[in-house]
């Protein structure tokens, strides 16, 4: 069951990344951002569940869930700069909530959000590319490590 979940999450992340790429080429930056975030969220869950963690449904918990599962299952990854970059990218999902809704309410004040710029969309798209690539690499490495430990 674990591999089936991982594969479904990675497939969804890959599809969302493709959609994000397409939307960016079409200059649909709202959609670029939403799809990039979906790619990051699904890839993060693939990573977390592959290392034995629980599926995360909150936009605000990916970073902490990734850190916790690595501390429990694969501590040496914590010292890798690529993993630190992944954690920073995971934080983008919490700020992305601002891009999902046309208004925001803070302190009783309603404000209309601005559409993301090309630069903002590009930042999220590049982050999603990196995140999915590293996630796949880490999942593969972890799987090889576990296989080596079994024998």
pLDDT tens per residue, range 52-86: 999 998 878 999 999 999 999 999 999 999 999 99
Token pair listed for 10: 């990675």
Range of the domain at 100: 2-150
Q: Which CATH number do you get for residue 104?
A: 1.20.120.330
Name the 3-class secondary structure at 104.
strand
Looking at the DSSP assignment, which residues form a beta bridge with residue 5?
Answer: none
Residue ranges with strand state E in 3-151: 103-106, 109-112
Spatial CA neighbour of 20 closest among 138, 135, 130, 137: 130
pTM confidence score: 0.90
Tally the domains of the chain.
1
Spell out the long-range contacts of 67-70 with Cβ–Cβ below 8 A and sequence spacing 24 or more: none
């Amino acid at each position: 069951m674990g591999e089936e979940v991982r594969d479904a999450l990675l497939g969804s992340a890959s599809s969302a990344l493709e959609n994000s790429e397409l939307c960016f080429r079409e200059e649909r930056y709202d959609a670029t951002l939403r799809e990039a975030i979906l790619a990051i969220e699904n890839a993060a869950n693939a990573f977390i569940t592959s290392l034995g963690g629980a599926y995360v449904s909150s936009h605000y918990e990916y970073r902490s869930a990734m850190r916790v599962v690595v501390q429990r299952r694969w501590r040496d990854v914590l010292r890798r700069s690529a993993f630190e970059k992944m954690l920073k990218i995971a934080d983008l999902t919490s700020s992305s909530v601002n891009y999902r809704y046309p208004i925001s309410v803070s302190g009783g004040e309603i404000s209309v959000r601005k559409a993301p710029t090309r630069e903002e969309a590009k930042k999220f798209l590049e982050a999603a590319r990196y995140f999915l690539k590293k996630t796949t690499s880490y999942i593969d490495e972890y799987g090889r490590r576990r296989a080596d430990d079994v024998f």
